[in-house]
Structure 1
Amino acid sequence: MTTANPPYLTGHFTPVVEEVTATGLTVEGTLPPELSGRLLRNGHNPKPGITPTHWFKGSGMVHGIRLRDGRAEWYRNRWVHTPALDGAPYMTDKGPDLTASAAGTHVIEHAGRLLALCEANLPFELDGELRTVGAYDFDGKLRTAMTAHPKEDPVTGELHFFASSPFPPYLTYHVADATGALVHTAEVPTATAALKHDFALTRRHIVFIEGNVTFDPTEHSGIPYGWSDHQPSRIGVMPRGTDGHHHIRWYSIEPGNMLHVSNAYEDGQGRIVLEGPTVDREGFRLSWNWWTGAPGRGTEPVARSYTRRWTIDQTAGTVDEHIIDDLPVEFPTLNEEYLGAENRYQYAIAFPDENGLGGYGLVKYDRTTGARRMHQVGDARLPGEAVFVPAAGATNEDDGYLLTVVSDLKQDASQLLVLDATGLGRIATVHLPHRVAAGLHGSWIPDSPATA
């Protein structure tokens, strides 16, 4: 049962109560001139007077920061105006209403469209001012929900995504081409009702992860999933292509659950290497109880979330797996030009452990040397997911910038930090007009020639 003041409505997660627009934001330091575009970030932000039964049930609010010519031109925040924002139920007497979306998990751009995403629903299109256009179904071709974590292939420009359902068909795979047209849809056989929040794309394969969290009709938080020791934990490897779903192969792995993929690729021996933060049974229990405001929760929204690496040898039919770092982290990111290819660097947000020890920070991993570098943001300050933006004329993978929105409880304020992705030093700070509630995922939308 949800408490009177659930943790996802307090502290760093206290919702914003109004939509605002501010121009001419104060900048400390110097914004790199190549930062010409918009940083968009989504998160769950219920309207005043609304207490959702689960963190993920809160209505989505997208925050935007416009940078150009070394200036921070504007900030604006807007709720995603879906039927759910006005109280429409997801389940109706005709079945699920795919438009009744929280639309609060992610926001992306593909083929010129801005889409606010929530995995149980259709995407919602926004205009350049963050006003809601409406539910988007790829010209009537998308008849399922859409994951909140689609992958855009940096080589082809294709958008790969899926729908996961607690009922058959449990898994449906989709591809939209670089122009935004939905060109491929296939039901994936042998999948189960296990929660599939994210997936991985390599140059040759699609990789699905089924952990121990699966459909649970006894869960009454509004998100009907729970941990099950009887649900097999496994990885599904599917060749890319229109007939790949006929050739998916599943590999058993140790019990656990992973929400977000760091990256995956084929190594020099043709093995698939997959990485991402994972939780064990206790970590999931502590996290879930935080998400629902139930007793016995941890102090943070993620607990015991450690980066794990799987190496899948399809020839031998084996999987080698191990935890590669003991720091609790979530929201992994990378230079997305390396998505699906071997990457040296990746980034994540560090959290205190399940006992509340340690602090928040932004972490950089060097996968070649095993080194870990930390940028500490300061007391009572929580950074959000760090979005990588390449520098002009970049020659190295980490030549670029990390953009993160920080919630500052002591000042009751927020800033956009621009960090050097190489050494994690601070380059610039953009002061926002109010404190932004800690949220989930976002994207950098660079200017096109038409908008520059």
Structure 2
Amino acid sequence: MSSKPYLIGHYTPAVDEISATGLTVEGLLPPELTGRLIRNSHNPKAGITPTHWFKGSGMVHGIRLRDGRAEWYRNRWVRTPALEGAPYITEHGPDLTASTAGTHVIEHGGKLLALCESNFPFELTPDLDTVGAYDFNGKLRTAMTAHPKTDPATGELHFFGSSPFPPFLTYHVASPEGEIEYSIDIPGATASLKHDFAITRDYVVFIEGNVTFDPSEHSGIPYSWSDVQPARIGIMPRGRDGATAIRWFPIEPGNMLHTSNAFQDAQGRVILEGPTVDREGFTLSWNWWIGAPERGTEPNTRSFTRRWTVDLAAGTVDERIVDDLAVEFPTLNEAFLGAENRYGYAVSFPDQNGFGGYGIVKYDRTTGARRIHQAGDARLPSEAVFVPAAGALNEDDGYLLSVVSDLKQDASRLLVLDASDLKQVAAVVLPRRVTGGIHGSWIPDTALDLSEEG
């Protein structure tokens, strides 16, 4: 058995693809949950030991809910050239189709897309079969971030492609129908690792931390912490000409993988929040990702929620840690993406001393309160995906969907929590223990063409 932490325990890869129907439901599934929860994971094939967790081939897990029933579960590898061993770097440069496609799954313009930030997206069918690499009808010529943003007001998809070589950062906007409207290179960007970003109603917010391209790093992911690389926030007006007016603001050293949200307050300041690690926290996570963790540590053990307030008029940034709980995978009611949200959600992790545990956290930004749904002994919840309730009146009227890995029972369940109080509404018993993974999405039936559904 491998000693790599990302190949054992909660992260033990599935060795096959299965389909199961007529799943057992505990409690009552709300009828508005009619669609698919699709979640991605790094899942190398049997006999393959990647040098880094992120190098594992992508496997998507889908759970189909309809009219109070759990109709099916199925898991499928995303069939990219990399799954069969094709190299990313070729004699002609990077092969943007040689993707793990193991980070995220989204829907846009009626297409399901499996994402990995160094490659093209891969299109999937509603039954999770692979269609192939998707380049927006030839208009996408860079990699695509695994964290695009759908503007809830316009339906446009905002995303970027980053590279360790110039141009370091290219920003794209696609129409609600999936046609790229424009692409612009961002001046002043560096080779800093850019995994996520944010939008507000008027701005695009880029984050450059202290983790940057390092060709001497041989784990297969050529990035490392650098005290020389400046940490910065870039604020760019939205629109085709926004890049000419981008401004970069220095911040304290650190690295952010995922933004919680960004918005403009009543004074016109840009507020950005998200879990962030310092150098020690990054080192602890990185060592886990490459399979050399310190005893008892896990990734995200020093990942604390941080808030930046960027005063564009004064040219200043106020920065502070707003919570001392180790969390990652922040989510929200995406109707509030880019606008001021009161509530946010995340997954909690044990800290570097082993205190605390896994759970699903709800934050109230107005009162500063937090509530935790404890996962329980040897149980790891996945990112909590928010789904609005029918007829919702309040921001937190809805449900949180999370796939929980239970090591003691060697089983998994899809947990449905009331987003207002984190109490369990229902659970779906899955036919296998689902590998601990990363990101996913709720895809309502209304977003997909189901005329040929299997």
Q: Name the counterpart of 1:372.
A: 370
CA deviation string 1:333-375 (max 9, x = no partner): 0000000000000000000001212110000000000000000
Q: Name the counterpart of 2:77.
A: 79
Q: 1:385 pairs with 383, 406, 415, which one? A: 383
From the superposition, tell whether residues 263 and 297 of structure 1 become closer, same or farther in structure 2 (CA, over 3 Å): farther
Distance 2:165 2:4 in 1: 30
Query: Where do residues 247-286 of structure 1 align in structure 2 (5 Å cutoff)?
Result: 247-286=245-284
Q: Name the counterpart of 2:93.
A: 95
Q: Is the 8 A contact 1:283 1:305 kept in 2?
A: yes
CA deviation string 1:67-108 (max 9, x = no partner): 001000000000000000000000011100000000000000
Q: Is the 8 A contact 2:284 2:293 kept in 1?
A: no
Q: Name the counterpart of 1:305.
A: 303
Q: Which runs of 5+ in 2 are unaligned?
A: none
Deviation at 1:448, TM superposition (A): 1.1
Q: Name the counterpart of 2:339.
A: 341
RMSD: 1.1
Q: Is the 8 A contact 1:290 1:297 kept in 2?
A: no
CA deviation string 1:213-256 (max 9, x = no partner): 00011100110000000000010000000000111100000000
CA deviation string 1:271-306 (max 9, x = no partner): 000000000000000000000012547621222000
Query: Where do residues 53-452 of structure 1 align in structure 2 (5 Å cutoff)?
Result: 53-296=51-294, 299-448=297-446, 451=450
Q: Name the counterpart of 1:26.
A: 24
Q: 2:33 pairs with 32, 35, 52, which one? A: 35
Distance 1:369 1:201 in 2: 24
Corresponding residue SS for 2:446: coil
From the superposition, tell whether residues 4 and 75 of structure 1 become closer, same or farther in structure 2 (CA, over 3 Å): closer
Distance 1:213 1:168 in 2: 17
Distance 2:359 2:177 in 1: 38
Distance 2:58 2:43 in 1: 6
From the superposition, tell whether residues 143 and 159 of structure 1 become closer, same or farther in structure 2 (CA, over 3 Å): same
Distance 1:39 1:328 in 2: 26
Corresponding residue SS for 1:448: helix
Aligned residue pairs total 450
CA deviation string 1:174-224 (max 9, x = no partner): 000011001110000100000000000110000000000000111001100
Distance 2:292 2:90 in 1: 27
Structure 1's consecutive aligned runs of 4 or more residues displaced over 3 angstroms after TM superposition are: 295-298, 449-452
Task: Calculate the TM-score normalised by the size of structure 1.
Answer: 0.98
CA deviation string 1:23-70 (max 9, x = no partner): 000000000011010000001000111100000000000000000010
Q: Is the 8 A contact 2:308 2:318 kept in 1?
A: yes
Distance 1:416 1:224 in 2: 35
From the superposition, tell whether residues 10 and 39 of structure 1 become closer, same or farther in structure 2 (CA, over 3 Å): same
Q: Which runs of 5+ in 1 are unaligned?
A: none
Q: Is the 8 A contact 1:38 1:444 kept in 2?
A: yes
Corresponding residue SS for 1:218: coil
Distance 2:425 2:35 in 1: 17
